Amino acid sequence: MPPAQRHPTMADVAERAGVSTSTVSRTLRGMSTVSPEVRARVEKAARELNFAVSRQAASLVTGKTGNVAVMVPTLTSWFMGSALTSLGPMLRAAGMEMNIYVIPDLAERTAFFERLPARRNADALLVFCFDLTEAETARLDDLGMPVIYVSQHVDGRPSVYVDDVAGARKATHHLLNLGHRRIAFAHTVGARGFSFSSQERLLGYRQALTEAGIPVDDDLVVGAPPHDKRGVMEAVGHLLGLPEPPTAVFAEQDELAASLIGVLRRTRIDVPERMSVLGFDDQPLADWSDLSTVAQSPADIGREAGELALALIDDSEADHVRHVVLPTHLIPRQTTAPPPVPQGDDVRDTSV
């Protein structure tokens, strides 16, 4: 087949540039042992021939696949979608591709850890929102590649996450500063992979109450699936049935907060006049519904995780226990207000 009718090879580039194929390889890999003059000749020849190094060929030379594996429990959550939407383009800009492994249940999880497909197909693994056992973590340690934990802190391993404790303390202090003293905490039930954040937010809530000198009341901590109407109704019913009901609820995520507001309003309890509700995330629905919340940025988390993965791939001597902790921001809107004045307390003595 004439050269014009087949894909150009590294030998074709070497012949046109007047160098050896090994020099072409070193040039296209960006090695510093090639002089500027030779580099310019090789790059010009490659452009003229429309030559591109295949990933398979490059991996044989460099030992790198050009892929980053991503392990996620779901693709349906707002957090995961936002994080991956920012991660993918930044990896492609660096010449890398992203392989996503969705592990939604125990069967898929068992199969993944038995096969560990990322061992053969990637240069790094990003683990999003998984509660791994010690055995599973040790199995990933043996992959021989950087493993970065995202939206969770894992001791002794690189991690990227927001300060959930500080965010929950901001939320609770906001309600305390409005005058609330009976503040409930609502956590999600059945959400896959997000228990690290849930536990940290509950801890921050409790810390804020303790700092304010308010005893922690476990009766004020309820759980509900955010999309299960009956479950949310039962959680609200529990709170309203207490001898001293709360005047505010801090929900660990916006979707649950929105569900709580829907149930409260259906029971003729005005928000925020009789009950304040505050969420966590700042999803688009929070802005649409004027929900007070604590904002985090999954897009920033995705980019930071990608940057850390690239740094660890490129430099084997880099800090492999680095933790990147991102801030949160309180966004007060229209679902939080001072608590209602108890009946009788609004009577003023106007006598002189």
**pLDDT one-digit tens code per residue, 243-291:** 999 999 999 999 999 999 999 999 999 999 999 999 999 999 999 999 9
44 and 92 inside one domain: no
Query: What's the number of domains the chain is made of?
Result: 3
* Rounded average pLDDT over 334-346: 82
CA pseudo-torsion sign 54, 60, 66, 68 = positive
Q: What is the pLDDT of residue 30?
A: 60
Over residues 31-43, the mean pLDDT reads 81
Distance separating the N- and C-terminal Cα atoms of the chain: 110
One domain for residues 50 and 115: no
- Average pLDDT (158-173) is 96
**Residue 36 main-chain phi, psi, to 5 deg:** -55, -40
Share of residues in the chain with pLDDT > 70 (%): 87
- Mean pLDDT score of the chain: 86
Do 255 and 146 sit in the same domain of this protein? no
Angle at 145 between CA 142 and CA 149, to 5 degrees: 90
Which of 47, 62, 77 delimits the end of a domain? Answer: 62
- Scanning the chain, the segments in alpha helix (DSSP H) are 10-17, 21-28, 36-48, 55-62, 78-93, 106-115, 118-121, 134-141, 164-177, 195-211, 229-240, 254-266, 284-288, 298-314
Instruction: Give per-residue pLDDT as tens, 282-331.
Output: 999 999 999 999 999 999 999 999 999 998 988 766 666 789 999 999 99
Q: How many CA atoms lie within 13 A of 83 on its CB side?
A: 29
DSSP 8-class letter at 319:
-
Please give the structure tokens belonging to residue 279: 């969420």
Domain enclosing residue 46, as ranges: 9-62
Residue 295 backbone phi and psi in degrees, to 5: -90, 135
- 329-331 and 292-295 beta bridge pairing: antiparallel
Q: H/E element holding 101?
A: strand 97-102
CATH of the domain at 16: 1.10.260.40
User: How much is the pTM?
Assistant: 0.78
